[in-house]
Structure 1
Amino acid sequence: MKRLDVSDEAYTNVTNILASIAKPFHVRKGEYLQRAGVPATHVYWLASGVARSGFFNRDGVEVTLRFYREGESATTLTDLINGESGMPAVQFLIAETPIHGFTLDWKLACELRAQNEVMQHYHLHLAMHGLQTLAQRAYNSGETSAQERLAAFREEYPGLEARISQRAVASYLGITPQYMSRLRREAEASAAQAAATVEQARQRA
């Protein structure tokens, strides 16, 4: 709610409305919620677990766009809109951990939204948040170093690094897993050096 800047009342109202079309689902780690090349028809609300969205570039290299965690709807909005006319999805959604949650039929959700002003307001905030996230992601990818991108990832997704694979993080940062290992070693060495400096200063005092 803080990320989306919506009230507790609005969140509760929207949740109650969508409960009428929600269906529970469970997937194991590594399973796809949405495949590229297949029309997207559902939104996936995560009660537990982590999902990752991305696509394959022209060279067949996997590019990660973002991660979804508990309390978030894993969805690729453009693919859902295109899916209304049967166009295949460009992005994929994959489970980075086991996931429990609820699926929502996109067309039914749209019909409910058209009938409810609170849902329209809520989804406007949701769309704006998604656009801001993508804009920041584009800036981080094009204008910052790998070290800065790693720092930004850790700030945006606190605690997530320990829950997912190093390969997934490297894909998000646009680097190789080998370089990711190097960044971690450098960060650990820097932290150890800083701790040693603090300890030395404490002993002198």
Structure 2
Amino acid sequence: MKRIDVTEESFNNVTNILATIAKPFHVRKGEYLQRAGVPATQVHWLASGVARSGFFNREGVEVTLRFYREGESATTLTDLIAGETGQPAVQFLIAETPIHGFTLDWKLASELREQNEGMQQYHLHIAIHGLQALAQHAYNHGETSAQERLAAFREEYPGLEARISQRAVASYLGITPQYMSRLRREAEMASGEPARQP
């Protein structure tokens, strides 16, 4: 609620509406929630665990766009919209840890949203939060040093670094895992504290 700036009443209202179409799901670490190249039709709400979204660039290099945690919908909105006409998803969603949650059929959720003004406002807050996060990530990636990007990651996703692989963090920062190790060693030497475990 704090992350997307909505009231508890709004959160509970939307949760109760969506509960009518929610189906429980579980995936293991490394399993895909959404594959690139396949039309996206499902929203994944995470009760526990961490998911990561990204894509493969022209050179075949994996680029991480963001992470999703407990209480968030792991969703690539542009892919869901494209999926309405059968177009394949550009992004993937993958489990960085074991995940328990609920899937929601995008078409059914959209129909419910059209009927409820409170739900429309709620999802507007989610969309704005997602756009702000992606814009900040794009700025950090293009205008800051690797050290600054790591600091920004730790501020945006407190505690997440210890839960996911060093490779995933490096992909998000746009650096190699080897350089990520070097950044951690430098931070350890500067602070006199042990480096965070991958």
Between the two proteins, what is the percent identity of the paired residues? 86
2:94 partner amino acid: I
The alignment status of 1:105 with 2:105, answered yes or no, reads yes
The alignment status of 1:22 with 2:16, answered yes or no, reads no
1:125 partner amino acid: H
Gaps of 5+ in 2: 194-198
C-alpha deviations, 1:32-90, integer Å up to 9, x for none?
00000000000000000000000000000000000000000000000000000000000
1:149 corresponding residue in structure 2? 149
C-alpha deviations, 1:110-155, integer Å up to 9, x for none?
0000000100000010110011011100000000000000000000
C-alpha deviations, 1:163-203, integer Å up to 9, x for none?
0000000000000000000000000000018xxxxxxxxxx
Q: TM-score, normalised by structure 2?
A: 0.97
2:168 partner amino acid: A
1:32 corresponding residue in structure 2? 32
1:188 partner amino acid: E
Alignment of 1:116-127 (within 5 A): 116-127=116-127
1:5 partner amino acid: D
2:48 partner amino acid: S
Looking at secondary structure, tell me which structure has more helix per residue. Answer: 1
1:59 partner amino acid: E
Alignment of 1:58-69 (within 5 A): 58-69=58-69
1:163 corresponding residue in structure 2? 163
C-alpha deviations, 1:98-117, integer Å up to 9, x for none?
00000000000000000001
The alignment of Structure 1 onto Structure 2 pairs a total of residues equal to 193
Secondary structure, aligned partner of 1:26 = strand
**Cα distance in structure 1, aligned partners of 2:2 and 2:151:** 22
1:139 corresponding residue in structure 2? 139
Deviation at 1:3, TM superposition (A): 1.1
**Cα distance in structure 2, aligned partners of 1:68 and 1:77:** 13
1:197 corresponding residue in structure 2? none
Secondary structure, aligned partner of 2:37 = coil
The alignment status of 1:4 with 2:4, answered yes or no, reads yes
Q: TM-score, normalised by structure 1?
A: 0.94
**Cα distance in structure 2, aligned partners of 1:55 and 1:88:** 13
